[in-house]
Amino acid sequence: MPPGIQGRGVAALARGVQGCASSYPPSLAAAEPMNQSVPQPTPAAEYHDVDPAGFAEIVARGVPAVLRGAAADWPLVAQARRSPAALVDYLIGFDSGALATTVVAPPAAEGRLVYEEGRKALNHRHSPEKLPNVLKGLLRQIDAPEPIAISLQGLSARDQFPGLEAENGTVLVPAGTPPRLWIGNKVTVSPHFDAAENLAFVVAGRRRFTLFPPDQVANLYPGPFDLTPAGVPIAMPAHDAPDLARVPRFAEALAAAFVADLAPGDAVYVPYLWWHGVQSLDRFNMLVNYWWYSDPVAAEHPNGAVLRAAFELFRVMPDAHRRAWKPLFDFWVFGSEGDPMAHLPPDLRTAEPALDAEKIARFRDAVNALLK
């Protein structure tokens, strides 16, 4: 194992994934050399000195946007500009001592957190680790000739780094929105979607976001629901080096996509349900993101689980039955004809249930139990 990670859990994980390759199934893997001309995504619009009112206008447009220098004054960014070691020391000063789930993949994966070659199995492993060990291990991996991929994903700033948010915050997102931290080395995350609005700030290293609108789902060749690196299906082609002979429709997705190249202090707005693949381009990288929702109840909805449940329930139907259901969903769920109850007197309309977090949690548990 290359030098760099201390702690028995991560070391064992690294040994356990040494034989893993980079993609499942092999027909969707990146191919070299590329013979096809790959369409280039459109650069996302860029904005400077954005205030809350200006950001609200950006969100209302519903397309990705780059906010240059939005976190330029954060102490996190200042420490990162000094050196990765200075940033690590700053972070460790806030560490609560909670174990941090750490993702590890072997050098053969080349930083791609996907599937093993030809197998429905992930090419990376997870382990709870002491945060200082992982951060110092990342520093040692900077000069490793064949580094293992290491990623800390979605760490709660409030739980893992109490006090950090007070020194490094933003007024652009709704008050109370919790920040999450993403720290690692040169890792690539495949395109996936989140059922939330997303504003992501680069702290250290350069990042490239490739963003696809939701209507490109069929051209993204999504993977399975039941085993996924992202909690939702991912796009199976290597979005930065697709073999268009094997995935020809992916060219349409790239033509509809946007790209955002970010430096420390920059931010990117990722609209609701937009697919986004993320490349961390340097040997030490950090990002802080904020997910927010239309209201607190919406934040608890198990949207991904409901999507999968619908997929499982309808996939076994005869085609004629499934087609018969489509106009019902169009009418009641997607409002193809406007308000589906507009023709009813108010006292005859379906009452809106009084949902709260507890009820949603029971619903989520029931859906998850159904899918197990």
For residue range 245-257, what is the model confidence (pLDDT) as tens digits?
999 999 999 999 9
Segment 234-244 mean pLDDT? 95
| Percent of the chain surpassing pLDDT 90 | 72
Which has more pLDDT, 171 or 25? Answer: 171
Q: What is the pTM of this model?
A: 0.88
Domains of the chain, with CATH numbers? 8-292 (2.60.120.650), 303-371 (no CATH)
Could you tell me where the beta strands, DSSP code E, fall in 86-196?
A: 99-105, 125-130, 149-156, 179-184, 188-192
Average per-residue pLDDT for the chain: 89
Torsion of CA 184, 202, 29, 140, to 10 degrees: -20
Q: DSSP secondary structure string, 121-142?
A: SBS-EEEEEEHHHHHHHHHHHT
Q: Tokens for 19, please give them.
A: 């034989």
Contact 253, 190 (CB under 8 A): no
Which has more pLDDT, 296 or 50? Answer: 50
Confidence (pLDDT) at 3:
34
Segment 58-66 mean pLDDT? 98
Residue 48: is its pLDDT beyond 90?
yes
User: Residues 195-226: pLDDT tens digits?
Assistant: 999 999 999 999 999 999 999 999 999 999 99
C-alpha 164, offset from chain centre: 22
